[in-house]
Structure 1
Amino acid sequence: MAETARYIDNVIDDGASWYAVRLFTIRQEEVRNFFTEHGLECFVPEQYVDVEGCDGKPRRVLRPVVRNLVFVKQSVEDKAFQKIVQETDYKISVLKKSKESREYALIPHEQMYEFRLMCNPEVTMRKFLSSEEARMKAGDEVLVKFGPLKGMSGRLVRSSKKYYLLKEVPGIGVMLKVSRWCCVPMEEK
């Protein structure tokens, strides 16, 4: 419980939007460090997995959920960020608003704040989805009124006879188990 509280305390909603950076390299940690060295905050969704240690015993380690995405907080102007991206030796691409557009697609701070909260590695009743899988899930837009997810919004979807709150950002979606009785349609806020 203390680790969950510590994680939540580190997720700050400061009103800043986020870039989604797609990687064409397996060096995700190096790309994250590159942006961090340039004074930019990064986020990579992670989850605990069991691996066999050197002694043959299982141990839990944090691993990235996806290997081809890094989210970077917009703390500099687009031109400055573009210059930083051009300086990298890694093959990366910042998601754009559309294929024809040169403007970066920014993830609004509210959406990214809730997404980061939902990515807490201590939460076990959670599923990660690709963007395509998330789009295929039908569900109504809801606001959670009660329980530990109170105040969060997303789509209420059903999977394996259970209800989940689905939150999507470019490149990935996350679903957290929720009781449908805790949710109200968005227009009833």
Structure 2
Amino acid sequence: MEDNTKQPLTADASLYNGQPTDTGSLCPSARLTSCTPSISKNKGGVSVKNVPSRNKQWFVLRVSYGRIIKAKAFVEAKGLECYVPLRYKEVRKQGKKRIITEPLLPSFLFVHATAEQVETLIHDNKVVANESRALLSYYFDHTIHRQDNSNRNPPLTIRDEAMNNFIRLNSIKNPYVIPVTSNNVQFKLGDNVVVIEGEFKGVHGRVARIAGQQRVIVELFDECLVATAYVPKEAMKHYNEI
């Protein structure tokens, strides 16, 4: 039976941006008052101040369709740290606006581990619970080739700084934080900026226009672009000025 990705996500909520599936909150506006939550104090969870390790890296793993919850549980059962980013979605229940959470990228799981640990993880999950489909597989970096084999690409890994920035953005409870594709992103100038005011303070990325609004795009790799809500010009500075 496949996981229902919209079911209540109760296991280790700190890895799910610290929010239950239905927050019961009204839709927040993209105001300039700072309300960015801190997730660095979540016991046992992912922190935007994650301490880098010489051996551990953030690996991007593909998850077979509809099994993101099972994949997260599988990785955690191995004693490894993983992250499932959520999006906050506005819905109407009984005539009132509410915010629920659902996986932002249901096809990807981020695992913080050594290359050897991830290799073992991939090997162990070839067949899980008598299922023929692999639960997890590598997502490869198609921009470079392996040193020992020029015909193959290495697994994609994310720098700690970039991952912390991504986690920071996805910790903000705003339904206008959305995943986007390169097809619907019109980069205004492509400027690298950092947000200096408001709920997105500290997030850095590229300025873009989406649906006629100025936003900041955080890009981890080709299939992972996430946009903030509207950010006014005065709330940003060029990244190289900070």
Fold match, TM over 0.5? yes
What is the total number of aligned residue pairs between the two structures? 183
Q: Which residue in the other structure is 2:137 paired with?
A: 93
The alignment status of 1:188 with 2:232, answered yes or no, reads no
The alignment status of 1:73 with 2:112, answered yes or no, reads yes
Q: Which residue in the other structure is 1:12 paired with?
A: 48
Task: Say if 1:162 and 1:60 are closer, same or farther in 2 by CA, change over 3 A.
Answer: closer
Task: Say if 1:24 and 1:109 are closer, same or farther in 2 by CA, change over 3 A.
Answer: same
Distance (Å, rounded) in 2 between the aligned partners of 1:40 and 1:147: 34
SS where residue 125 of structure 1 aligns? Answer: coil
| TM-score, scaled to structure 1 | 0.79
| Aligned equivalent of 1:168, options 219, 223, 228 | 219
Where in structure 1 are there 5+ consecutive unaligned residues?
none
Cα offset, 1:113, TM superposition: 0.8
Distance (Å, rounded) in 1 between the aligned partners of 2:137 and 2:168: 25
The AA in structure 2 aligned to 1:15 is P
| TM-score, scaled to structure 2 | 0.63
Q: Which residue in the other structure is 2:32 paired with?
A: none
The AA in structure 2 aligned to 1:95 is Y
Q: Which residue in the other structure is 2:72 paired with?
A: 32
More helix by share: 1
More strand by share: 1
Where in structure 2 are there 5+ consecutive unaligned residues?
1-17, 20-35, 128-133, 146-150
Q: Is the 8 A contact 1:155 1:165 kept in 2?
A: yes
Distance (Å, rounded) in 2 between the aligned partners of 1:61 and 1:155: 27
Distance (Å, rounded) in 1 between the aligned partners of 2:156 and 2:205: 19
The AA in structure 1 aligned to 2:37 is A
Distance (Å, rounded) in 1 between the aligned partners of 2:83 and 2:174: 17
Q: Which residue in the other structure is 2:10 paired with?
A: none
The alignment status of 1:23 with 2:60, answered yes or no, reads no
Task: Say if 1:180 and 1:120 are closer, same or farther in 2 by CA, change over 3 A.
Answer: same
Distance (Å, rounded) in 2 between the aligned partners of 1:147 and 1:59: 22
Task: Say if 1:153 and 1:51 are closer, same or farther in 2 by CA, change over 3 A.
Answer: closer
Task: Say if 1:27 and 1:126 are closer, same or farther in 2 by CA, change over 3 A.
Answer: same
Q: Is the 8 A contact 1:20 1:70 kept in 2?
A: yes
The AA in structure 1 aligned to 2:105 is V
| Aligned equivalent of 2:205, options 154, 157, 173 | 154
Distance (Å, rounded) in 2 between the aligned partners of 1:163 and 1:52: 26
SS where residue 137 of structure 1 aligns? Answer: coil
Deviations 1:53-76 (A, max 9, x none): 8x9x997542112221111113xx
Distance (Å, rounded) in 2 between the aligned partners of 1:24 and 1:143: 35
Cα offset, 1:43, TM superposition: 1.3
Q: Which residue in the other structure is 1:115 paired with?
A: 166
Q: Is the 8 A contact 1:163 1:179 kept in 2?
A: yes
The alignment status of 1:84 with 2:84, answered yes or no, reads no
Task: Say if 1:49 and 1:163 are closer, same or farther in 2 by CA, change over 3 A.
Answer: closer
Distance (Å, rounded) in 2 between the aligned partners of 1:145 and 1:50: 26
The AA in structure 1 aligned to 2:220 is V
C-alpha RMSD of the superposition: 3.1
